[in-house]
């Protein structure tokens, strides 16, 4: 059992999956909890999200053999922490754990930012099944929106790709290599059958839809004009959101660290990232493949003045899981496929090229 006051907790909570890690003062991950949606806007009632958050935190503490009051600090980077009243609602709930500290609640974009910014200042563009974009100054001033007018993510990009396939089939749009890829992916005879599969009663759902996102990124990388337009437009939209976030807090764009994270940025193509950065002149891109929960853990260490290394924390997390403390995928909904599909496709591609 860890000594009292020697551990911190970091939590990354999303609309699709949630992870909590307990880390000791040597930088070793000693407890992990995994779960589903903890976004108070992404469930039938906010209480459902809080119950799942409690379950994930409890699992991590149980593995670490640490009581809540023994933790020194904690940062909860949560989707759904969108408005001031959301932050207070979540903090009030977390205070019920009787931690020895006041829990720090931030929007999930902010936890991702810490992965690439030692001062926790800069811009975050996180894109998985959905997207989280925001900016933060080192004094804690930040701006983010949970409800951007242009939503970008694996789901919206996949739908745009399938729409383009159908549009061409109906002579309403240009030809695209996405057609053969989509029909092959879903085993459909033609785009009408594919449309039926998604829109008919008991049709395919979002877990199936987002399987198209790595295919779209593949074809954009190969310069298919239609795919390239879809991906570039998405990147520019997120870049605009990032620029607006920085402007709201008067963050100087020159040299501003811009963390690009989430499943879609793990695809090997640079098309999406380049489109984002075109909207951020002077900013410096930091593309990361590390899980956002590492950023939350680093931010928790910051609360007690403890230095941390993201690569070392990630290695410790992977080692911890490798020792048999694996993710319990049974608690996840299929929506988590959004980010994972891109990663899996990239790995398969890499193995095939060896």
Q: Of the candidates 69, 4, 76, which has an alpha carbon nearest to the alpha carbon of residue 33? A: 76
Is the domain spanning 116-289+335-354 CATH 3.30.1360.40? The answer is: no
**pLDDT given at position 1:** 42
What separation in angstroms does the CA of 78 have from each of 29, 90, 130?
A: 20, 9, 13
Gap between the Cα atoms of 11 and 105, Å rounded: 10
**pLDDT given at position 4:** 44
**pLDDT given at position 350:** 42
**pLDDT given at position 5:** 54
Strand order in the sheet with 71-78: 29-35, 18-24, 7-13, 71-78, 104-107
Fold of 7-115+291-323: Nucleotidyltransferase; domain 5 (3.30.420)
> What pLDDT tens digit does each residue of the chain (354 aa) get?
444 458 999 999 988 899 999 999 999 999 999 999 999 998 999 999 999 999 999 999 999 999 999 999 999 999 999 999 999 999 999 999 999 999 999 999 999 999 999 999 999 999 988 889 999 999 999 999 888 998 899 999 999 999 999 999 999 999 999 999 999 999 999 999 999 999 999 889 888 999 999 999 999 999 999 999 999 999 999 999 999 999 999 999 999 999 999 889 999 999 999 999 999 999 999 999 999 999 999 999 999 999 999 999 999 999 999 987 655 443 433 334 445 555 555 545 444 443
Domain 7-115+291-323 and domain 116-289+335-354 have a common topology: yes
Query: Domain locations in the chain?
Result: 7-115+291-323, 116-289+335-354
């Amino acid at each position: 059992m860890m000594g009292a006051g020697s551990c911190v907790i970091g939590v990354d909570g999303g609309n699709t999956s949630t992870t909590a890690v307990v880390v000791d003062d040597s930088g070793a991950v000693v407890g992990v909890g995994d779960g589903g949606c903890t976004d108070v806007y992404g469930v039938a009632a906010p209480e459902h999200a809080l119950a799942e958050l409690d379950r994930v935190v409890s699992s991590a503490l149980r593995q670490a053999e640490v009581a809540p009051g023994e933790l020194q600090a904690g940062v909860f980077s949560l989707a759904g922490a969108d408005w001031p009243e959301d932050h207070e609602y979540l903090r009030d709930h977390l205070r019920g754990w009787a931690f020895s500290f006041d829990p720090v609640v931030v929007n999930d974009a902010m936890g991702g930012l810490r992965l690439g910014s030692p001062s926790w200042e800069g811009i975050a563009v996180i894109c998985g099944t959905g997207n989280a974009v925001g900016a933060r100054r080192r004094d804690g001033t930040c701006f983010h929106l949970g409800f951007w007018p242009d939503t970008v993510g694996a789901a919206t990009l996949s739908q745009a790709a399938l729409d383009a396939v159908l549009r061409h089939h109906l002579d309403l749009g240009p030809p695209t290599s996405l057609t053969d890829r989509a029909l092959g992916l879903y085993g459909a005879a033609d785009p009408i059958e594919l449309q039926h599969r998604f829109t008919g009663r008991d049709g395919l759902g979002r877990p199936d839809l987002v399987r198209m996102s790595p295919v779209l990124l593949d074809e954009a990388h190969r310069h298919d004009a239609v795919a390239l337009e879809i991906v570039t437009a998405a990147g520019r939209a997120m870049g605009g959101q990032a620029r607006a976030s920085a402007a709201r807090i008067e963050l100087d764009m020159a040299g501003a660290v811009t963390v690009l994270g989430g499943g879609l940025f793990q695809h090997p193509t640079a098309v999406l990232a380049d489109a984002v950065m075109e909207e951020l002149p002077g900013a410096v891109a930091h593309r990361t493949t590390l899980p956002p929960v590492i950023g939350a853990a680093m931010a928790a260490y910051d609360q007690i003045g403890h230095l941390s290394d993201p690569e070392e924390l990630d290695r410790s997390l992977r080692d911890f899981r490798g020792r048999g403390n694996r993710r319990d995928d049974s608690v996840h909904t299929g929506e988590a496929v959004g980010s994972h599909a891109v990663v899996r496709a990239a790995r398969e591609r890499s193995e095939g090229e060896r």
